[in-house]
């Protein structure tokens, strides 16, 4: 899975007869933000976030999604987080890239599901645990921001 437009970049390189800068062919501002973040030695996008992948996923596949989350500094949970658990709600982790005052500033655990798949949880938005579609992850990566979780 590619998060930027490769085809025009390849064609530009072939036409010029040399390698052209990728930045001219990237979709959105996320790639630039990511580079600035890395050069500034700041934490990765999903630092402080925990993810439980619910069920199966078509696109991206579950293994691809897990890799994107790990590469982005997120941690994968082997058990579904319990929103009503005192242990869950008292964890002191914080999402580094959440905007102050946003819902994501409070939330650090996400139940991720495929909107097109058979495993859809009831909407969860309690304290530090929220449910979100896998498309939210891709949108966050594309923009290099922890975006608001869409209402489902």
Q: Which of 1.10.10.10, 3.40.50.10190, 3.30.565.40, 3.40.50.11610 is the CATH number of 50-143?
A: 3.40.50.10190
pLDDT in the model for residue 9 = 60
Provide the pLDDT confidence category of residue 122 given band limits of 50, 70 and 90: confident
Mean pLDDT, the chain, integer:
83
Neighbouring CB atoms inside 10 A of 55's CB total 13
**Mean pLDDT computed over 91-110:** 83
By CB atoms closer than 10 A (0-12, 13-18, 19+), residue 125 is middle
| 53, 76 Cβ separation under 8 angstroms | yes
Q: Where in the chain is the domain with CATH 3.40.50.10190?
A: 50-143
Residue 4 has pLDDT above 50, yes or no: no
């Amino acid at each position: 899975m590619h998060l930027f437009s490769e085809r025009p970049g390849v064609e530009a390189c072939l036409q010029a007869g040399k390698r052209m800068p990728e930045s001219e062919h990237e979709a959105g501002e996320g790639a630039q933000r990511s580079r600035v973040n890395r050069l500034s030695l700041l934490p990765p996008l999903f630092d402080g976030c925990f993810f439980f992948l619910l069920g199966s996923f078509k696109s991206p596949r579950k293994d691809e999604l897990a890799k994107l989350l790990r590469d982005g500094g997120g941690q994968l949970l082997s058990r579904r987080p319990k929103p009503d658990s005192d242990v869950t709600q008292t964890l002191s982790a914080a999402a580094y890239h959440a905007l102050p005052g946003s819902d994501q500033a409070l939330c650090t655990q996400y139940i991720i599901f495929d909107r097109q798949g058979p495993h859809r949880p009831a909407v969860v938005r309690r304290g530090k645990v929220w449910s979100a579609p896998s498309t939210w992850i891709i949108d966050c990566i594309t923009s290099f921001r922890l975006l608001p979780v869409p209402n489902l």
